[in-house]
Structure 1
Amino acid sequence: MTLNGRYSPGEAADLTGLSLDTLRYYEREALIGPIERLPGGRRVFTEGDIAWIGVVTCLRDAGLGIADVQRFTSLLRTTGDPASRVEFLRERRAALADHMTRMEAAMGVLDDKIKYYGARQAEESATA
């Protein structure tokens, strides 16, 4: 850690688990930042930047695309209306819940097929 809770790009990458390329991409796409720059142009990440990158990572892990995260980030920067943010998050949560239901059903099908073909494999081994 550098002085006063400020981190180099490499340290930020280590702390967030993201690559330097991903951090640069997220900044270019306005998902994070603006990131402070030293007089020589080198980026310096703050504790707040690291925390926000964690939120962005969580949203991406939840299946939100870049455009969705951009929209949410824009809502934070341009409106003081918490209702629009809550509505956005509720919509995305409902979509994620629906996706999880479909994934659980798919897991069930896979489990059934594993069981079925596993039993067939055991039968074939027993008769061989």
Structure 2
Amino acid sequence: MTPGLTVREAADKTGLTGHTLRYYERVGLIWDVPRDAAGHRRYTAKQVEWLLLLTRLRATGLPIAGMLRYAELVRSGRGEEDRLDLLQNHRIEVAARLAELTADLALIDRKIETYQRRLAAAAPHEEESA
């Protein structure tokens, strides 16, 4: 058996689709994916770890262009200051969105509490319903 994960196995492990894995390779988000004797991709553990990082960056709203810039910096083996800047700027954006979502959630919680109080006040008492 050839070492490494197949496209299906890597997709299952990362939550990405096979189509997305191939797209990421085509655009340069992942590189040097080895192939077995039949020419099928075989993802290494390190590449799966990289894909999981990309998945988290994407889930936090980093655009593909930002992911490509980050991948380019990593692939070059240098640019740590640029990588740090990119991640720090993205963190600021994520924190702002998180604060906004936290405020939105607080509003929803207040509305839920209001409706629960109203419904509790309007409900017949147990003694009356017996």
TM more than 0.5: yes
- Give the match for residue 30 of structure 1: 28
CA distance in 2, matches of 1:71, 1:117: 48
Aligned-CA RMSD value = 2.1
Structure 2 length as normaliser, TM-score? Answer: 0.82
- Give the match for residue 62 of structure 1: 60
CA distance in 2, matches of 1:66, 1:85: 15
What fraction of aligned residue pairs are identical, expressed as a percent? 34
Give matches, 1:24-103, under 5 Å. Answer: 24-78=22-76, 80-103=78-101
Q: Offset at 1:39? A: 4.7
Q: Single out whichever of 97-106 and 55-64 deviates more from structure 2.
A: 55-64
CA distance in 2, matches of 1:37, 1:79: 23
SS of 2:98's partner is: helix
Q: Offset at 1:62? A: 2.1
Q: Offset at 1:78? A: 3.8
Q: Offset at 1:9? A: 1.2
Q: Which stretches in structure 1 are left out of the alignment for 5+ residues?
A: none
Contact 2:2 2:36 in 1 (8 A): no
Q: Offset at 1:125? A: 3.0
SS of 1:80's partner is: coil
Indicate the structure (1 or 2) with the bigger Cα radius of gyration: 2
CA distance in 1, matches of 2:124, 2:76: 68
Structure 1 length as normaliser, TM-score? Answer: 0.83
SS of 2:86's partner is: helix
Q: Which stretches in structure 2 are left out of the alignment for 5+ residues?
A: 126-130
